[in-house]
Amino acid sequence: MTAARDISGAHAAQGFTDELKPGTELLRGQYVIERFLNSGGFGLTYLARDSLDRTVVIKECFPGTLCGRSNLVVRARSRTQQDEFRSVVRMFVQEARRLARLRHPSIVGVHQVFEDNETAYMALDYVEGQDLLDIVEGEPDRLGPAELVDILKKLLDAISYVHDEAILHRDIAPDNILLDRSGNPVLIDFGAARERATRASRALSALQVVKDGYSPQEFYVAGSKQGPAGDLYALGATFYHLISGAPPPNSQARLAAVASQEADPCVPLAGRFRDYEPEFLAAVDRALAVFPKDRPQSAREWLQAIDARRRREAAKARARLDRTIEVSISRMVAETNRAVEEARQREALRARESQVAVSEPAPRPRVDLRLDDEEDDGLILSDSDGASLRIAPWEYPLPPELRPLGAAGPGDTAPDQAGGKRQWGGGLFRRLSRIVPFRRRDRHSQTGEA
């Protein structure tokens, strides 16, 4: 088998005529069609050979309800459907380009995306082998528990990679999983583009993009929220079929039973197949939960549930993360405490400085006091700013004990000049020094603090 199921003989018997004939060249001879493989509501699939003489699979965008072929050219069936057809072609190209970015051993590779004959094509890897549906129907005992467990682990790794790229497969089923000659599983035929096309086109909206037994119930509801859990349901249904020999009941019937408070018609695998580990069967059963919230929320979560090594790695990673968080929190607490203590010390220092400032009196301004060299009966007061004032004894209200002998106070008659000079110059400084501390500057001056 190839990357698409070969049903060319059945279509030939039915007189199917829209497919390209063997020998048809695409992209100016880069690809040559060898034979038709199969068709679906959205496209046709062929086996072809490229310019390097390699066998490839060619998928042609051909939504049969919207278009037909005239010679080689694909055209909308009517003018009113022209815009819808072009919209589907654009979505085909966009999805093909997204898939071309994927690189994984369990995902079919996309070689090239191109447009020709007024439609779009993509060239994919040719995978030589059988799909799981052929195996389970034709050779049900071929794959034992060990092989199925290994296949599921590889597929979960591939699906985890796809979901990390924000892509949904949306059509996981036994016929879309090939086993190559080495026994490696390969996912083919992504259905996300078909689902988008049915929402964009009224003519395609009636086409079914679900598979009974494999599609989750939310895939049946137009406009419903769809996410990774939907792909995981389809994968669980696929392995339910491989293990039990039959697919699970239709998810819509299961939803109706749950809504009616009746028993779920899907019989769990757990406890029925002793050749499998209980954890493995329980994980498949959980993936088949009717409601998305009850399923594993990621392929990685499911993989850890069935792989002891990955569980240990996940536990170690969580422990390392917890330790990192603990160290970070401890460091933050220590830094916070240090900052608080430093702030407390600064505040205490400011408080002590404030107390010292309050207890120390303000410095008293310094003044100079000296005898007037020209007039010995007067004083000259000068401050630190350079201002000066001459005071005669009878002009300043000195206390009697500070007046020179014979000197008059304010309003008195001026003293005798000789007496004033003699008594002012000789005794005033000694009397003033009792109140104001002076230091001698020269023979005629004293300095102190006023």
- Answer yes or no: are the C-beta atoms of 90 and 78 closer than 8 Å: no
Q: Amino acid identity of 268?
A: P
**CATH entry, 1-127, from 1.20.1070.10, 3.30.497.10, 3.10.100.10, 3.30.200.20:** 3.30.200.20
Instruction: Please state, in angstroms and rounded to a whole number, the distance separating the CA atoms of residues 154 and 15.
Output: 40
Lookup: tokens for 432 = 């003033």
Q: By C-alpha distance, which of 50, 25, 45 is closest to 35?
A: 45
Long-range contacts (CB closer than 8 Å, 24 or more residues apart) made by 273-277: 273/145, 273/243, 273/244, 275/144, 275/145, 276/145, 276/149, 276/243, 277/306
Q: By C-alpha distance, which of 238, 117, 224 is closest to 171?
A: 238
Instruction: Please state, in angstroms and rounded to a whole number, the distance separating the CA atoms of residues 189 and 64.
Output: 18
Higher per-residue confidence, 417 vs 400: 400
Lookup: tokens for 223 = 């406009």
Q: What is the pTM of this model?
A: 0.66
* Residue 85 burial (10 A CB sphere; 0-12, 13-18, 19+): buried
Residues contacting 105, CB < 8 A, separation 6+: 154, 158, 184, 186
Specify the CATH architecture of the domain 129-187+210-329.
Orthogonal Bundle (1.10)
- pLDDT (tens digit per residue) in 48-59: 999 999 999 999
- Answer yes or no: are the C-beta atoms of 8 and 35 closer than 8 Å: yes
Q: Which pLDDT belongs to residue 16?
A: 43
Q: Where are the domains of the chain?
A: 1-127, 129-187+210-329, 366-449
What is the SS3 assignment for 40-101? CCCEEEEEEEECCCCEEEEEEECCCCCEEEECCEEEECCHHHHHHHHHHHHHHHHHHHHHHC
C-alpha angle 207-213-215 in degrees, rounded to nearest 5: 55
What are φ and ψ of residue 45, in 5° steps? -125, 135
Lookup: tokens for 365 = 């301004």
Higher per-residue confidence, 275 vs 327: 275
Would you list the DSSP string of 377-418?
Answer: T-EEEEETTS-EEEE-GGGS---GGGSPTT---TTSPPPPHH
Confidence grade of residue 223 (pLDDT, cut at 50, 70, 90): confident
Tokens 């199921």 belong to which residue? 5
Identify the three-state secondary structure at position 440. strand
Q: Which pLDDT belongs to residue 198?
A: 53
- pLDDT (tens digit per residue) in 56-79: 999 999 988 889 999 899 999 999
Q: Does this chain's domain 1-127 share its CATH topology with 129-187+210-329? A: no
- pLDDT (tens digit per residue) in 224-274: 888 999 999 999 999 999 999 999 999 999 999 999 999 999 999 999 999
